[in-house]
Amino acid sequence: MISDTIAAISTPMGEGAIAIVRISGVDAVGIADKLFVSPGGKRLSEMSSHTIHYGHLIDPLTMIVLDETMVTILRAPNTFTREDTIEINCHGGFVAVNKILQLVLRSGARLAEPGEFTKRAFLNGRIDLSQAEAVMDLIRAKTDRAMQVAIGQLDGKLSHLIQELRQKILEVLAHVEVNIDYPEYDDVEEMSHHLLVANGNEILVEINRLLQTAQQGKILREGITTAIIGRPNVGKSSLLNSLLQENKAIVTDIPGTTRDIIEEYVNVNGIPLKLVDTAGIRETSDVVEQIGVERSFGAIDRADLILLVLDTAEPLHYDDIDLLKKVISKNVIILLNKADLSHELNVAELERYSNGHAVIETSILRNTGLEELQKEIERLYFLGNIQDHDLTYVSNARHIALLHQAKESIEDALQAADNGVPIDIIQIDMTKAWESLGEIIGENMHDSLIDQLFSQFCLGK
């Protein structure tokens, strides 16, 4: 049982209308009772659960009023942490909220570690580990589709699937135990082998289905690192500004204006793109521009997707050809910009170097071709169709690795069954699969790994 009481600021620091100081633990109500004074003099300990009350927060040592507040009281076990919880709604700002937090800490609470409220929800059985990780995914979601994936996982969609798979494995293991305990019954052994192969194949199909969503889920969770490259003055920064719908990058007619990397996230039909606007790539004697070009090549190496911008109003340049050769093995979309001007670029010559990559005519000035670009991104990463939010995506790298481990163990067990290996030996691989799946939801995990996972959470969550 967790015996201490924790507190933290649960809203972002800075000026704002309202800030929240959250307290959770066995002494949460008692600590708030020392500090909160209601107009009628009624104590929080006398109040009903899940109610909010107006009053003032007072330092009991000096009797100085710190703030006018609304205090919410939530009694265990019907809270996020399954502990008594108090939420103090005070005025936002650095001074007020920090003074209230310090007062709460002096009154008997301990400053919460990052993610400790969610960790307590996990340790107290309110959520499993995959749901706990979904909390941070929901906070960090950059698009509505990423948010839907996180909500589905928080609601337990993935957890239920994992529990069902583990139950099937458990049934097999139970039959194996019967076979070991009663070896004289041949029909039991035959039934165990039959059940193992049938259930093993069913589990394998379901694991493969989950893994098929892994790339798309990871994209929705983390985004696609997208480098916008090309020669100077072809429209790279204009493309960035157009996708962002704001003037983030400086745009001039002077080649080499962009000297450094500019990074921004943008929502493209629910897909988060981490756009990287690079310096124009060309031979140059300018030392600063040379550094920008070198950083551009680094951005190309790190990118998941390349948007190569060419100038339709000019013939294909040898620098364009060098860039095409450099990115030929990556996911590339070629944008023929300035399509509203005269067409000097030889498309037939371009096809010799494009290696079948999509070529889209655009005019950033007239805002044409961007819809086709969005559709091509969907085609590359989602086969042209982003599934609705009812599909259970696997987006977490830890979950993906554990699913691969479980898959390998199931495949080893099925191979052993085909080779006539004794059932008690096959049981070892099935148990490994059961344990790997259990780690996804927080079973069979070391405390140190759990601490490490929750340390990545924000303070106050």
Q: Is the dihedral of CA 75, 79, 83, 87 positive or negative?
A: negative
Task: Tokens for 149, please give them.
Answer: 């994936």
Helices (H), 182-286: 186-212, 214-222, 236-244
Residue by residue, pLDDT tens for the chain (461 residues) are 578 999 999 998 878 889 999 999 999 999 999 999 999 888 999 999 999 999 999 999 999 999 999 999 999 999 999 999 999 999 988 888 999 999 999 999 999 998 899 999 999 989 988 888 888 888 877 777 778 888 888 888 889 999 999 998 888 888 777 666 555 555 555 556 777 888 889 999 999 988 888 877 878 877 888 888 888 888 877 888 888 775 544 343 444 444 445 677 888 777 888 887 776 554 544 444 455 566 666 777 788 888 888 888 888 888 888 888 888 888 889 888 888 888 888 888 888 888 888 888 888 888 888 889 888 888 888 765 555 545 567 878 888 999 999 999 999 999 988 888 887 788 899 999 999 999 999 887 777 777 777 777 777 77
- Is residue 237 left, alpha or beta, with left meaning phi > 0 and alpha meaning psi from -120 to 50? alpha
DSSP string, 263-310: EEEEEETTEEEEEEEPPPPS----HHHHHHHHHHHHHHHH-SEEEEEE
Decide: 236 and 278 in contact? Cβ < 8 Å: yes
7, 72, 249, 316, 324 from 353: Cα distances, Å: 60, 65, 30, 11, 6
Q: Residue 34 contacts by C-beta under 8 Å, 6 or more apart in sequence?
A: 60, 107
Q: Count of alpha carbons within 13 Å of 318, Cβ hemisphere only?
A: 1
Q: Sort strands 262-268 and 305-311 into parallel, antiparallel or unpaired.
A: unpaired
What phi and psi, each to the nearest 5 degrees, are found at residue 441? -100, 5
